[in-house]
C-alpha cells in the first residue's frame, strides 16, 4: 500500500505521463507500468476516500449525470471566424489589415485548423474551475464535468495563475475508428460527447483538446502567448508557425493542405492571425468574427468509384429521394459507401447510370455528394423510376418534373420519417427518440400516429432491444417533457408541407393556439407578412384534412395545447422586416437571423412591398428580381449586401 507521500508522487507522475502522451505525442513508460501505478492509486483511494487528490487520474472517469446544462455567459465574446477559400481571398484579407492599420510590415501566424468544438476554460489559482461551449458566442453551456474527463487538459497548472484560455475539443482519428458505427465523423463524435449529461459516457470517448488562445497580462504577441501556455502545461498546436509575407502565408497553407490527411486528427483548413496583440485590439471585431483572423478553408477532397445501385427513400410528405450506393471509397480520409442524389432530376442532370464510375466529393468535408461521371461503362444501366412505392406498394404520383411521391398517408415509411421529424431537435426535441428507436416502434406497431408517442409506457420500451429500466424510464420522461415546447415548435413538428421553422413562427404569432389554427382561411393566411400562396394553400389543405382534426384532438386530450407567447425582443430594429436571398459568406443564415431578432428585427419568408430589407448574398434567387420589380413601382425595399448588413448591425 502506498504512503500518502508516495500517493501524491504517483498522481504527479501519472499526470505527467498523460501530458506527454496526449499533448506531446511522446511515450516514456510502458502501458503495463502505467496500469500498475494506476491500480496502486486506486487501492490507496479505496482505503482513504477522504484523502483523494482532485487531480488524481482516477477523477477523470466522470461523475453522476446532470439533469441539464447551466447557461454560461462568456466574459468576452467567443467568436467564430470568417472564411476564405482562395489566394485572392487571402490577398483581400491581408490588404484590408494593411489598410486598416496603415502599415505593411504586419507579421502573421498560421496553424492547422482543427475540426472540433470551441470551448472556453477558466482557471483560478492554477485550478480548473469552469468550462463552456461557444454557443452563440455570447452564451454557451457549462460543460465543466465533461471537460475534466479530457486526459490532455491540465486540471492543475504548474503555476498559481488566474487565467482564461480557449481551445478546440476534438476526437482523434484513432479513437474515432472505435466509434465510427455511432457517428458520421470525428467532429460529430466530439460534439455529441461534449453534450452528454452523463460525463462518465464522455470519459469513455477519450476526447482531446488543443488550446489556441489565452488571455495573459504583459505578453505582446500570439507566439509568446502560445509558448507561455505550453509552459503552463497546456497542449498547443504543434503546427503553429510565423509568416512575414502573403506569399509565405499562402505557401504554408498549401503545405498544410497537402498533408491534411497525415494529421492524427481532422483538419479542415488553416487559421491565419495577426501576431501582434496590440494590432488585434486595434482591429477589433465585427458582430460575428474578429477582423484580425480568418480561416482558410480547403476544398473538398474528391475520389472516383463505381455506382453500384440507386435505392429510394420515402420522406414524411411521401416524396421519393434517390440514394446512391457506392463501391466503398476513401474521400478525405473517410470511407464513403452512399450519397444522396436529392431528386430524380439530379440523376438526369448528372446523366449517371448504375455501373458508371462517378466522381464523389464530401460537401463541406462532411456530406457525400456525386458531382459527375468519370466514365460510363458499356454495361451501365439507366435508373428506372419506380412506379409503385417500395414500402407500401401504392402507385407513385407525379408532382411536377422533379418530385414523385407516395400518396398513401398511412405508408410506414412516411410515418417513420414524420415521427423522426416530429422528435427532432428543431421541432419537439425528444431526446433519445431517434431514427433507430422510431423504426422499432413503427415496425412493432406500437406507434401508428404522432399521438401514439404520448401513450407509450416504460414497459413498451423494455420490449425493444437495447432498453433497460433506466433508459426506458428516461425515454418516457423525454416524451412527456416535450409537451412544454412552444406552439411554433409543435406546428413545425407536425410536418405541414412547405412550412419551415420561420413559417411556423409566423403562423404561431397569428393563430395563437391549435383551435385558432384549425379555423385558418386562405385570405387571412396570405395577409400574414411572410406567408405566400404556396404555404397558404398547403396549410388550408392540411387544416381541411379529416386526419388533421383527429391528430390535433388527440394531442389536446393528452395535454398538448401550447399557447403562443411572444419572444420578440424590442430593439433598434423593431418594426423592421428582413429577408435573405443567396448564400452569405460570413454568417450561416440561422446566425444572421438570430442577430436580427436579437435587435428586435423580424424575419419574413417572402418579398412583399412592406419588406424593409432584402439581404443579398452570393447567387441570389428570384427574390431579388421580385424586390427590384416592386421597387420599380412604388416599393421602398432596401437592397443591401453582406457588408452593408454587418455595418447596419454594428451601427445599431
Distance (Å) of CA 420 to CA 24, 432, 458, 555, 652: 43, 11, 20, 17, 40
Residues 474 and 70: their CA atoms lie apart, in Å, by 20
Q: Which SS3 state, helix, strand or coil, does residue 120 take? A: strand
Residues 48 and 385: their CA atoms lie apart, in Å, by 70
Q: Which SS3 state, helix, strand or coil, does residue 18 take? A: helix
Distance (Å) of CA 77 to CA 57, 119, 143, 429, 549: 32, 11, 17, 27, 47
Q: Copy the grid coordinates of residue 242.
A: 510565423
Residues in CB range of 175: below 8 A, 6 or more apart: 205, 206, 207, 208
Whether 113 is catalytic: yes
Strands 241-243 and 108-114: antiparallel
Distance (Å) of CA 525 to CA 536, 538, 566, 639: 6, 11, 19, 26
Which parts of 184-265 are beta strand (E)? 208-214, 241-243
Burial 465-494 (b: 16+ CB within 10 A, else e): eebeeeebebbbebbbebeebbbbbbbbbb
189: nearest Cα among 366, 62, 71: 366
180: nearest Cα among 334, 65, 313: 334
Residues 494 and 551: their CA atoms lie apart, in Å, by 9
Residues 413 and 394: their CA atoms lie apart, in Å, by 12
Answer positive or negative: Cα dihedral of 25, 30, 33, 39: positive
Residues 182 and 223: their CA atoms lie apart, in Å, by 38
Residues in CB range of 347: below 8 A, 6 or more apart: 310, 322, 341, 383
Active-site residue, from 13, 107, 113, 623: 113
Specify the DSSP element, H or E, that contains 230.
helix 222-232
Contact indicator for 436, 507 with CB cutoff of 8 Å: no
Tell me how far apart the 2 most distant CA atoms of the chain are, in Å: 89
Q: Where are the alpha helices (DSSP H) in 149-303?
A: 173-176, 186-194, 199-205, 222-232, 246-258, 277-283
Strands 403-405 and 397-399: antiparallel
Bridge partners of 243, per DSSP, are 108
Strands 613-616 and 638-641: parallel
Contact indicator for 371, 302 with CB cutoff of 8 Å: yes
Q: Copy the grid coordinates of residue 271.
A: 487559421
Residues with catalytic roles: 113
Amino acid at each position: 500500500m502506498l504512503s500518502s507521500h508516495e500517493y501524491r508522487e504517483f498522481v504527479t507522475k501519472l499526470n505527467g505521463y498523460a501530458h506527454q502522451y496526449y499533448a506531446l505525442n511522446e511515450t516514456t513508460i510502458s502501458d503495463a507500468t502505467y496500469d500498475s501505478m494506476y491500480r496502486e492509486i486506486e487501492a490507496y483511494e479505496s482505503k482513504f476516500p477522504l484523502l483523494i487528490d482532485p487531480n488524481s487520474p482516477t477523477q477523470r472517469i466522470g461523475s453522476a449525470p446532470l439533469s441539464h446544462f447551466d447557461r454560461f455567459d462568456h466574459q468576452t465574446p467567443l467568436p467564430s471566424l470568417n472564411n476564405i477559400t482562395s489566394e485572392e481571398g487571402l490577398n483581400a484579407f491581408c490588404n484590408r489589415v494593411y489598410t486598416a492599420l496603415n502599415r505593411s510590415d504586419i507579421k502573421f501566424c498560421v496553424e492547422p485548423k482543427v475540426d472540433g468544438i470551441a470551448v472556453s476554460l477558466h482557471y483560478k489559482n492554477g485550478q480548473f474551475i469552469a468550462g463552456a461551449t461557444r454557443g452563440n458566442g455570447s452564451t454557451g453551456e457549462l460543460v465543466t464535468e465533461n471537460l475534466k474527463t479530457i486526459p490532455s487538459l491540465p486540471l492543475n497548472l504548474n503555476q498559481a495563475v488566474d487565467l482564461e484560455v480557449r481551445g478546440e475539443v476534438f476526437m482523434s482519428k484513432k479513437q474515432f475508428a472505435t466509434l465510427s458505427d455511432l457517428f458520421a465523423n470525428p467532429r460529430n463524435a466530439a460534439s455529441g460527447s461534449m453534450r452528454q449529461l452523463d460525463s462518465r459516457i464522455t470519459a469513455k470517448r477519450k476526447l482531446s483538446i488543443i488550446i489556441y488562445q489565452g488571455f495573459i497580462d504583459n505578453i505582446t504577441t500570439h507566439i509568446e502567448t502560445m509558448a507561455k501556455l505550453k509552459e503552463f502545461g497546456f497542449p498547443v498546436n504543434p503546427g503553429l508557425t510565423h509568416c512575414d509575407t502573403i506569399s509565405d502565408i499562402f505557401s504554408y497553407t498549401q503545405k498544410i493542405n497537402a498533408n491534411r490527411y497525415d494529421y492524427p486528427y481532422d483538419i479542415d483548413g488553416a487559421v491565419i492571425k495577426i501576431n501582434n496583440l496590440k494590432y488585434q485590439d486595434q482591429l477589433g471585431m465585427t458582430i460575428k468574427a474578429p477582423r484580425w483572423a480568418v480561416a482558410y478553408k480547403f476544398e473538398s477532397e474528391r475520389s472516383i468509384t463505381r455506382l453500384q445501385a440507386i435505392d429510394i427513400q420515402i420522406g414524411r410528405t411521401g416524396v421519393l429521394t434517390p440514394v446512391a450506393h457506392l463501391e466503398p471509397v476513401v474521400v478525405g480520409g473517410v470511407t464513403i459507401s452512399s450519397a444522396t442524389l436529392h431528386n430524380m432530376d439530379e440523376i438526369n442532370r448528372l446523366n449517371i447510370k448504375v455501373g458508371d464510375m462517378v466522381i464523389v466529393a464530401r460537401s463541406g468535408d462532411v456530406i457525400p455528394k456525386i458531382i459527375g461521371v468519370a466514365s460510363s461503362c458499356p454495361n451501365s444501366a439507366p435508373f428506372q423510376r419506380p412506379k409503385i412505392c417500395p414500402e407500401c406498394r401504392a402507385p407513385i404520383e407525379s408532382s411536377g418534373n422533379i418530385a414523385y411521391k407516395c400518396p398513401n398517408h398511412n405508408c410506414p415509411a412516411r410515418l417513420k420519417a414524420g415521427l423522426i421529424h416530429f422528435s427532432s431537435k428543431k421541432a419537439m426535441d425528444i431526446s433519445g427518440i431517434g431514427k433507430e428507436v422510431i423504426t422499432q416502434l413503427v415496425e412493432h406497431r406500437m406507434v401508428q400516429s404522432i399521438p401514439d408517442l404520448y401513450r407509450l409506457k416504460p414497459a413498451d420500451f423494455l420490449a425493444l432491444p437495447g432498453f433497460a429500466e433506466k433508459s426506458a424510464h428516461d425515454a418516457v420522461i423525454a416524451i412527456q417533457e416535450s409537451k412544454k415546447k412552444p406552439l411554433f415548435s409543435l406546428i413545425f413538428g407536425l410536418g405541414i408541407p412547405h412550412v419551415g421553422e420561420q413559417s411556423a413562427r409566423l403562423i404561431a404569432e397569428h393563430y395563437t393556439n391549435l383551435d385558432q389554427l384549425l379555423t385558418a382561411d386562405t385570405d387571412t393566411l396570405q395577409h400574414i407578412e411572410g406567408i405566400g400562396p404556396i404555404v397558404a394553400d398547403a396549410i388550408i389543405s392540411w387544416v381541411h384534412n379529416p386526419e388533421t382534426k383527429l391528430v390535433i384532438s388527440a394531442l389536446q386530450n393528452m395535454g398538448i395545447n401550447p399557447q403562443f407567447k411572444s419572444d420578440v425582443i424590442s430593439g433598434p430594429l423593431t418594426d423592421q422586416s428582413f429577408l435573405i436571398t443567396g448564400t452569405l459568406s460570413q454568417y450561416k443564415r440561422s446566425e444572421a437571423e438570430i442577430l436580427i431578432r436579437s435587435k428586435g428585427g423580424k424575419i419574413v419568408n417572402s418579398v412583399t412591398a412592406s419588406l424593409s430589407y432584402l439581404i443579398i448574398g452570393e447567387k441570389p434567387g428570384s427574390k431579388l428580381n421580385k424586390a427590384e420589380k416592386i421597387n420599380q413601382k412604388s416599393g421602398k425595399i432596401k437592397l443591401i449586401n453582406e457588408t452593408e448588413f454587418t455595418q447596419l448591425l454594428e451601427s445599431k
